């Protein structure tokens, strides 16, 4: 009896210790966002207060962010265009490339897969100068493609690698059965494999969109016109909406505006994301 009580207490202790660890991790992850939100809702005159809650709550920083002289709405639209197009192109190209590597047998397939994943190891900053020189020569500076193409090159290796592993988990008998019933390989891919691979494709789309939405160094280097800059670049260039004040409050408000859509999107589609990340783990 005493041994059973001791084991029960040890189990309870481990459970509470696990909960404590989870709470610490959650607090560590959410604390910066909470402080950003609190700072965004302070008045500009109170921006250097250290209270845990703004008093009084003010929307002045949010109104300043969307002032006509700031142009932040246009920057949000630019970010949406760049991230959306990058995600669509990554999915289209990455899905076909991943399916080819996972299903078709050809000489050098492993070498191609190794080269694809190796390209993601290059630090992005090392490619900025040659890309800037190239885009200047072909007249791409201050264009959407100057931001989309580099982002696409960084997103594709991860997408191809993830989707290749996902396609390999799907039984080949699915396509073989479809082709026995009269489907071509392309029809089997479109009607059978793609619907089954939806969780993995959806997860890849979310990860790619978030990465492209948060991208900074490429957009900063390739664009110098305010009408073409993305939201992340616009935040870094805030000079203060009230004259000579520090732009701390407006930057925090803009940060909340940029972050909240991503948080909402992840919360809405969290089941699909988890399904895509864990798919293939159990046969």
Per residue in 92-148, pLDDT tens?
999 998 888 888 777 877 788 788 878 777 777 888 889 999 999 999 999 999 999
What does each C-alpha distance from 254 to 78, 201, 217, 234, 243 come to in angstroms? 15, 30, 18, 9, 18
Which band of pLDDT confidence, cut at 50, 70 and 90, is reported for residue 226?
A: confident
Tell me the backbone φ, ψ of residue 13, rounded to 5 degrees.
Answer: -65, -45
Residues 6+ apart with CB under 8 A from 193: 99, 167, 170, 174, 175
| Coil/strand/helix, residue 59 | coil
Distance CA 229, CA 278 (A): 36
> Comparing 232 with 196, which gets the higher pLDDT?
232
DSSP 116-181: HHHHTTS-THHHHHHHHHHHHHHT-TTSSHHHHHHHHHHHHHHHHHHHHHHHHHS-THHHHHHHHT
Locate 107 and state its tokens: 């000489």
Alpha carbon 196 to its chain's center: 23
Q: How large is the average pLDDT for residues 156-175?
A: 85
Report pTM: 0.84
Distance CA 266, CA 222 (A): 29
Helices H / strands E in the chain, number of each: 14, 0
Whether the per-residue pLDDT at 65 is higher than 60: the answer is yes
Class of domain 71-237: mainly alpha
């Amino acid at each position: 009896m005493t041994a059973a009580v001791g084991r029960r207490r040890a189990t309870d202790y481990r459970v509470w210790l696990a909960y404590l660890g989870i709470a610490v991790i959650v607090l560590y992850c959410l604390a910066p966002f909470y402080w950003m939100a609190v700072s965004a809702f302070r008045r500009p005159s109170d921006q250097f207060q250290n209270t845990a809650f703004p008093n009084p709550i003010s929307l002045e920083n949010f109104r300043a962010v969307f002032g006509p002289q700031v142009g932040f709405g246009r920057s949000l639209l630019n970010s949406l265009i760049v991230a959306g197009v990058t995600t669509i192109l990554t999915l289209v190209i990455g899905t076909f490339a991943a399916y080819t590597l996972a299903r078709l047998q050809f000489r050098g397939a492993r070498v191609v897969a190794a080269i694809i994943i190796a390209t993601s190891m290059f630090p992005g900053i090392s490619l900025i100068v040659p890309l800037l020189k190239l885009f200047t020569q072909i007249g791409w500076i201050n264009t959407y493609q100057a931001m989309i193409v580099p982002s696409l090159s960084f997103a594709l290796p991860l997408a191809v690698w993830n989707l290749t592993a996902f396609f390999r988990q799907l039984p080949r008998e699915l396509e073989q059965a479809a082709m026995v019933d009269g489907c071509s390989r392309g029809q089997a891919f479109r009607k059978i494999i793609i619907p089954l691979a939806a969780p993995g494709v959806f997860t890849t789309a979310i990860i790619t969109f978030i990465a492209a939405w948060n991208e900074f160094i490429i957009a900063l280097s390739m664009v110098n016109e305010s009408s073409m800059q993305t939201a992340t670049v616009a935040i870094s260039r805030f000079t203060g909406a009230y004259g000579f004040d520090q732009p701390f409050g407006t930057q925090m408000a803009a940060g909340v505006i940029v972050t909240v859509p991503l948080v909402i999107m992840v919360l809405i589609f969290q089941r699909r994301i988890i399904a895509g990340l864990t798919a293939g783990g159990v046969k």
